[in-house]
Amino acid sequence: MPLGLGRRKKAPPLVENEEAEPGRGGLGVGEPGPLGGGGAGGPQMGLPPPPPALRPRLVFHTQLAHGSPTGRIEGFTNVKELYGKIAEAFRLPAAEVMFCTLNTHKVDMDKLLGGQIGLEDFIFAHVKGQRKEVEVFKSEEALGLTITDNGAGYAFIKRIKEGSVIDHIQLISVGDMIEAINGQSLLGCRHYEVARLLKELPQGRTFTLKLTEPRKAFDMISMRSGGGRPGSGPQLGTGRGTLRLRSRGPATVEDLPSAFEEKAIEKVDDLLESYMGIRDTELAATMVELGKDKRNPDELAEALDERLGDFAFPDEFVFDVWGAIGDAKVGRY
């Protein structure tokens, strides 16, 4: 069947009757949130969690990014369970954990924990800090934000484009969690839903963002990072191999990604930012995994529809993803 004829799913509605499948675009788990995205705490479709005896018995060291003693965590198989283990280690509510970085306590989006953890990586957990409310005048169609999410119901700012509308507002920083837009709660929403809402805000009007910034260590106060650099590549772990976290089925220990996989993931992640305003290395890795053995764009489109249909990827995006994977295969970087 030719690409784009009679197969494509319609985009899910923004406000009602949306049931985005957990774990697509990252590691989301749980029930639909206020706008239908995967949130924390709800039932999960698919395979049941593996029994504890079958989970990888790997121990990781962790600290709170703003400063704490070192804790030891083990026995988790997805991001929600990871946050729960961190919360237990430091005796705080799991909902306080915003996101984690690997091998640095700084809000460094190049080191953001996605779907893979190197077996020798050190995990730093960033918890909720100061809340703030900011009014933004949308003077241009593009705000200059790239959105990602933590896989458990929180969407936050991963990158701010230099010279953009948001770049001129010093109160808004990379790492800030977006709690609400114009009073509408976004807790439980996926990154692509939040990016779509921001894009659809009318130009020439003022809107209100309710944000929570990560709690900062003393040496991070007054820092305002611009986020990951374009083309810097995903952080997929260091050490002997990686623990791959999955929203369905058990976590698995895998070899480090091949040069082809790493470059293809980077290129697909760049396309996600260009087309959808999000960055998500786990979603990009899933798309590469689905596409690397497909013979043509139509087969890739059908696989994406079946596995990631709620994203309603446009045909031109699917074609570009097919090209990016093909380029990486033959070494055209």
pLDDT tens string 258-271: 888 889 999 999 99
Backbone angles phi, psi at 136, to 5 degrees: -125, 130
Mean pLDDT of 136-147: 94
Give residue 264's Cα distance to chain centre.
17
pLDDT tens string 31-75: 334 444 433 334 444 455 555 555 556 899 999 999 999 999 998
pLDDT tens string 89-129: 999 999 999 999 999 999 998 899 877 888 889 999 999 99
What confidence score (pLDDT) does residue 171 get?
95
What confidence score (pLDDT) does residue 2 get?
47
Full strand arrangement of the beta sheet holding 242-244 = 116-118, 242-244, 252-254
The yes-or-no verdict on residue 30 having pLDDT over 80 is no
Tokens of 39: 């949130």
Written as one string, the DSSP assignment of 194-221 is HHHHHHHSPTTSEEEEEEEEEP--GGGT
Higher pLDDT, 60 or 228: 60
Using pLDDT thresholds of 50, 70 and 90, give the confidence band for residue 280.
Answer: confident
What confidence score (pLDDT) does residue 77 get?
83
- The pTM of the full predicted model, rounded to 2 decimals, is 0.69
Q: Which residues contact 313 (CB under 8 A, 6 or more apart)?
A: 275, 304, 321
The yes-or-no verdict on residue 290 having pLDDT over 60 is yes
**Residue 94, CA atoms < 13 Å, CB-side half-sphere:** 14
Structural Rg of the chain based on CA atoms: 19
What confidence score (pLDDT) does residue 272 get?
92
The long-range contacts involving 67-73, CB below 8 angstroms and separated by at least 24 positions, are 67/105, 67/217, 67/218, 73/123
What confidence score (pLDDT) does residue 267 get?
93
What confidence score (pLDDT) does residue 312 get?
85
